[in-house]
Amino acid sequence: MRTWCVTAVWLLMVAGMSAQQGSGMPDSFYALKTTALSGAPVDLKSYEGKVTLVVNTASQCGFTPQYKGLQALHTELAPKGFSVLGFPSNDFGGQEPGSAQEIKTFCEKNYGVTFPMFSKVVTKAGPDQSPIYTWLGQSGNLPKWNFSKYLIGKNGKILAFFPSNVTPESPELRQAIDKALGTS
């Protein structure tokens, strides 16, 4: 009887580990799918081979002026295979309460944003968390506030995480982007 119990426990443990591995997240950020701010489906595979900077954004935050620097990075580096990807979130202080159209209008009117913006997401861990942030959270880092940044390499792997206070103009961020692009 005891051998049977030990065997049953071992089989359950192995099955649990296999289920975790089997239901595991994709190896690449670019294997994920999401929705554009317009509501259209987006396959992030279209960014494979590029370096991307994934940012959780908000329109009513003290860090909102970072949109200007993010747009400048996007404009300057897009020809070299770089893109900023904006994911609005209302997780922190309710600072992104607007509709998709309100977010789009705000970003374009105030900061001239042309980089891709996606539908509002939940970044915090829990049952409503976006699969994008579930995947990013595997790095051990989830945003603690708006405008946290993940640098994703050409192969879809996370290269670095930068908290909100690291601005788009920050030398450490720029050096990491240049290194990922192979221009440093």
Which domain CATH number covers 125?
3.40.30.10
Nearest to 129 by CA among 142, 141, 147, 145: 142
Look at residue 184 in the predicted model and tell me its pLDDT.
66
pLDDT number for residue 183? 81
pTM for the model stands at 0.87
Alpha helices for the chain (secondary structure H): 2-22, 66-77, 100-111, 131-137, 171-181
Could you identify the residue written with the tokens 């950020």? 29
**159 within domain boundaries:** yes
Residue 49 scores a pLDDT above 80: yes
Could you give the percent of the chain with pLDDT greater than 90?
85
Q: How many structural domains does the chain have?
A: 1
Asked if the structure places residue 36 within a domain, the reply is yes
pLDDT-wise least confident of 7-21, 135-149, 153-167: 7-21
* H/E run at residue 53: strand 51-57
Mean pLDDT of 29-36: 97
Look at residue 122 and tell me if it is in a domain. yes
Spatial distance between the Cα atoms of 148 and 154, rounded to a whole number of angstroms: 20
Residue 13 counted as domain residue: no
pLDDT at residue 11 is higher than 60: no
41 within domain boundaries? yes
Q: Is residue 14 part of a domain?
A: no
Note whether residue 35 is domain-resident: yes
- Confidence class for position 159, pLDDT limits 50, 70, 90: very high
The strand pairing partners of 53, in sequence order, are 84, 151
Q: How confident is the model at residue 24 (pLDDT cuts 50, 70, 90)?
A: confident
Would you say 51 and 151 are in contact if contact means Cβ atoms under 8 Å apart?
Answer: yes
Lowest mean pLDDT across 2-6, 45-49, 121-125, 156-160: 2-6
Strand pairing report for 82-88 and 51-57: parallel
1-15, 27-41, 161-175: segment of lowest average pLDDT: 1-15
Give the residue numbers marked as catalytic: 61
pLDDT value at position 65?
98
Q: Which domain holds residue 63?
A: 26-181
Give a yes or no: residue 69 inside a domain. Answer: yes
Tens of pLDDT, residue by residue over 118-156, are: 999 999 999 999 999 999 999 999 999 999 999 999 999
